[in-house]
């Protein structure tokens, strides 16, 4: 285009929006346009919310959670059981666990799963810190709440091996039929696991 019809600010906004997960060039343009149409109700407040988060949120030095406090609110809370640590791959998993409301202990976020394919080894994950935390005298149990994928289970095996050396109790989430799940749409592995763990 010989004359500029879309200004650099708009081009930049679209380009940055397209870096969000699940956004292609088309949906990024659509989102940018939606924002531009509501500058005061949406664009400016979203910008401020992002600036706020960028400035105040950091990764907890103890467990790897994201929070404005460091150590995070979960690690600082006196109301949570410090004898149990729930190990997760990702902060998103921690959020999911909190939404379920079943767990009242502490967390530890590994920051990913072991993956030979992606070249992610034990030293790339927050494992050393977990071993040191699990060795503290008040810790009675470590729950491995890792993904039921090949990489997730590889990671669980590796972490369990490491924890065995320090003699702490290690448990894992049960496999089975998801609540609301239909048998016909489940894979063989899940059905087999649910069958062999029947109560």
Could you list the residues that contact a copy of itself (CB under 8 A)?
Answer: 1-10, 12-13, 16-17, 19-22, 27, 29-36, 39-40, 42-54, 56-57, 65-69, 72-74, 77, 79-80, 90-92, 94-95, 98, 101
Nearer to a copy of itself, 105 or 176 (CB): 105
Dihedral over alpha carbons 89, 91, 97, 103 (to 10 degrees): 90
Closest separation between CB of residue 60 and a copy of itself, Å?
Answer: 11
Nearer to a copy of itself, 43 or 177 (CB): 43
Closest separation between CB of residue 149 and a copy of itself, Å?
Answer: 17
Helix (H/G/I), strand (E/B), else coil: 69: coil
32: Cβ contacts below 8 Å, ≥ 6 apart: 10, 13, 14, 17
Nearer to a copy of itself, 58 or 132 (CB): 58
What's the token pair of residue 197? 């763990």
Closest separation between CB of residue 21 and a copy of itself, Å?
Answer: 5
Closest separation between CB of residue 114 and a copy of itself, Å?
Answer: 18
Nearer to a copy of itself, 92 or 178 (CB): 92
Nearer to a copy of itself, 50 or 128 (CB): 50
Closest separation between CB of residue 66 and a copy of itself, Å?
Answer: 5
Among candidates 35, 37, 59, 34, which has minimal Cα distance to 49? 35
Which letter does DSSP use for residue 179 in this model?
Answer: T
Residue 143: count other Cβ atoms within 10 Å of its Cβ: 20
Among candidates 76, 77, 82, which has minimal Cα distance to 61? 76
Residue 110: count other Cβ atoms within 10 Å of its Cβ: 24
């Amino acid at each position: 285009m010989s004359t500029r019809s879309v200004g650099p600010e708009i081009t930049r906004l679209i380009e940055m929006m397209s870096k969000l997960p699940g956004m292609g060039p088309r949906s990024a343009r659509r989102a940018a346009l939606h924002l531009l149409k509501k500058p005061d109700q949406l664009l400016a407040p979203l910008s401020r919310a992002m600036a706020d988060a960028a400035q105040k949120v950091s990764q907890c030095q103890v467990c790897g959670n994201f929070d404005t406090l460091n150590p995070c609110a979960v690690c600082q809370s006196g109301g949570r059981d410090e004898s149990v640590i729930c190990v997760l791959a990702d902060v998103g998993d921690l959020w999911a666990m909190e939404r379920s409301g079943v767990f009242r202990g502490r967390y530890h976020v590994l920051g990913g799963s072991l993956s030979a394919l992606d070249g992610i080894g034990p030293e790339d994950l927050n494992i050393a810190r977990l071993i040191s935390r699990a060795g503290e005298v008040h810790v009675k149990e470590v729950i491995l709440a890792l993904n039921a994928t090949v990489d997730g289970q590889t990671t669980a095996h590796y972490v369990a091996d490491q924890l065995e050396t320090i003699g702490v109790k290690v448990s894992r989430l049960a496999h089975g039929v998801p609540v609301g799940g239909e048998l016909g749409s489940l894979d063989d592995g899940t059905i087999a696991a649910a069958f062999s763990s029947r109560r």
